[in-house]
Amino acid sequence: MAGRIRVQVAYALPDRQDIVTVELPDGATALQAVEASGLLQKHPDIDLARNKIGVFSKLVKADQPLRDRDRVEIYRALIADPKEVRRQRAAEGKVLKKGGGDVDAPAS
Domains of the chain: 4-91 (3.10.20.30)
Output the CA–CA distances (angstroms, integers) from residue 56 to 67, 76, 104, in the order listed: 12, 15, 49
Is the CB of residue 5 less than 8 Å from the CB of residue 23? yes
Is residue 101 over pLDDT 60?
Answer: no
Residues of the chain above pLDDT 70, percent: 81
In this structure, the number of other CB atoms found within 10 A of the CB of residue 11 comes to 24
- pLDDT at residue 69, as a whole number: 97
Cβ burial of 4 (10 Å; 0-12, 13-18, 19+) is: exposed
Q: What is the pLDDT of residues 20-68, one digit of tens each?
A: 999 999 999 999 999 999 999 999 999 998 899 999 999 999 999 999 9
Q: Whole-model pTM above 0.85?
A: no
- pLDDT at residue 93, as a whole number: 74
